[in-house]
């Protein structure tokens, strides 16, 4: 790992204006970055500049504003390419988020390639957005959905995963980091095993990209998806990376402007990559904001980010273990910045309400991962998900809130 200076937490916290507020009369502690991270001034400034100075449509105008907007939009694409380690910028497709990216793959690659009896393999720890699109595809094609099991700690049972792979497996789609458990999957090993059977491999990177360096060429995944709003960028924007040869063969996802080269009533000729998959006026401000988020995170250094979050995660794990009646859900060998837990006799929703009264924001519920909850025989968990701005003091505030809940519920 490259040596980098530790993060300047005081400066980072100053970069996020939303953190400088009171909630319920107490200073805000934000522990819900896994749902949506806060947005730094650098990103807000980039979005404001577009709306204040450069608001115009892209790719179509010869006037100055359109040219400036187009340049910023395509600069963001190159920034994402470099951040992911993709070979070419045309392998970066802008979507509304991870969910749309996976649906795009199911309805383009999946519908054109899968036949009755083919198989799709996912895992038991998937987010709903990496389950439901494949169920729909199975209904449309007659393919079958297979599920790799996880153990009590929340790790993939690799031997069972390998056994489920066969010559019938056409698509493997796995989460890089679990949003409900924090598990970091051994994805390189899983990708190699899938490729040995001739399957393509899709990675849901929504919870990975904000916490660790990702190199899609080193991983050799065929597709990679993530969302801007978890990466300190705007909502409503995301990315689908795909190997160029696969993207070339895929039919368009939507029809409309900018995804065409020519249109007659008899025939339409589609545009080149990446524009074939970006129909209509895109979320220009969102793309520019995402590009600014990449700049911000790159300047911090992902090694430094990972090291800081690992320290806070370790501190939080030990602190929560000291809370009477608390049980951590997800204790995998390798975890990212997620602390999911239940507390004896107190429903997670009640926990969330009580700690909110103490100014602490956490997530409660099934986290769009109901099969994970079913695996552990629970309806929901409380989840504290960490970001670059969190500190040991934030964890201490969470623990105080949990002790307050214990007092209230006796």
Q: Which residues are catalytic?
A: 368
**365 contacts 349 by C-beta, under 8 angstroms:** yes
Instruction: Report the alpha-carbon distance of residue 231 to residue 98 in Å, rounded.
Output: 12
Output the DSSP codes for 83-141. Answer: HHT-S-GGGEEEESSHHHHHHHHIIIIIHHH--TT-EEEEETT--GGGTHHHHHHHHHH
Count the Cβ atoms, other than its own, within 10 Å of residue 5. 7
According to DSSP H, which parts of 254-333 are helical? 284-300, 302-321
CA atoms within 13 A on the CB side of 233: 30
**260 contacts 284 by C-beta, under 8 angstroms:** no
Instruction: Report the alpha-carbon distance of residue 179 to residue 208 in Å, rounded.
Output: 9
Instruction: Report the alpha-carbon distance of residue 313 to residue 163 in Å, rounded.
Output: 33
Instruction: Evaluate the omega torsion of the peptide bond into residue 274 and state whether it is cis, within 30 degrees of 0.
Output: yes
Q: How far is CA 244 from CA 87, 241, 247, in A?
A: 9, 9, 5
DSSP class of residue 199?
-
Find the helix or strand (DSSP H, E) in which 10 lies: helix 9-15
Q: Which residues pair with 260 in a beta bridge?
A: 270
Find the helix or strand (DSSP H, E) in which 270 lies: strand 268-270
For helices 302-321 and 392-409, give the axis angle rounded to 10 degrees.
30
**166 contacts 141 by C-beta, under 8 angstroms:** no
User: Can you say how many angstroms the Cα of residue 208 is from the centroid of all Cα atoms in its chain?
Assistant: 6
């Amino acid at each position: 790992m490259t040596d980098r200076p530790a993060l300047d937490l005081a400066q980072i916290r100053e970069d996020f204006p939303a953190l400088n507020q009171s909630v319920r009369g107490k200073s805000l502690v934000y522990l819900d970055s896994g749902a949506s991270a806060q947005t730094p001034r650098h990103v807000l400034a980039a979005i404001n500049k577009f709306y204040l100075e450069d608001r115009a449509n892209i790719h179509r105008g010869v006037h100055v504003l359109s040219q400036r907007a187009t340049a910023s939009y395509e600069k963001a694409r190159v920034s994402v390419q470099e951040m992911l380690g993709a070979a070419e910028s045309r392998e970066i497709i802008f979507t509304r988020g991870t969910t749309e990216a996976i649906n795009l793959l199911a309805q383009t690659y999946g519908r054109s390639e899968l036949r009755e009896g083919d198989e799709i393999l996912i895992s038991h720890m998937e987010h709903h957005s990496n389950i439901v699109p494949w169920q729909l595809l199975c209904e449309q094609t007659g393919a079958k959905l297979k599920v790799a099991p996880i153990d009590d700690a929340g790790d993939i049972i690799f031997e069972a995963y390998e056994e489920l792979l066969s010559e019938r497996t056409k698509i493997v789609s796995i989460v890089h980091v679990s949003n409900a458990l924090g598990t970091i999957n051994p994805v390189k090993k899983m990708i190699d095993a899938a490729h040995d059977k001739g399957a393509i491999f899709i990675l849901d990177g929504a919870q990975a990209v904000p916490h660790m360096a990702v190199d899609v060429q080193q991983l050799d995944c065929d597709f990679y998806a993530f969302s801007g709003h978890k990466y300190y960028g705007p909502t409503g924007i995301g990315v689908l990376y795909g190997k160029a040869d696969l993207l070339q063969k895929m039919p368009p996802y939507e029809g409309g402007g900018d995804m065409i080269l020519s249109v007659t009533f008899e025939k339409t000729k589609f545009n080149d990559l990446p524009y074939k998959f970006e129909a209509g006026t895109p979320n220009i401000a969102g793309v520019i904001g995402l590009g600014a988020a990449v700049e911000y995170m790159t300047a911090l250094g992902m090694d430094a980010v990972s090291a800081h979050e690992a320290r806070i995660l370790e501190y939080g794990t030990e602190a929560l273990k000291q809370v009477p009646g608390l049980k951590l859900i997800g204790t995998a060998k390798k975890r990212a910045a997620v602390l999911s837990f239940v507390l004896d006799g107190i429903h997670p929703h009640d926990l969330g309400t009580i700690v909110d009264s103490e100014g602490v924001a956490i997530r409660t519920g099934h986290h769009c991962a109901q099969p994970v909850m079913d695996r552990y025989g629970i309806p929901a968990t409380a989840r504290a998900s960490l970001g670059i701005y969190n500190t040991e003091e934030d964890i201490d505030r969470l623990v105080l809130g949990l002790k307050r809940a214990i007092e209230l519920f006796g």
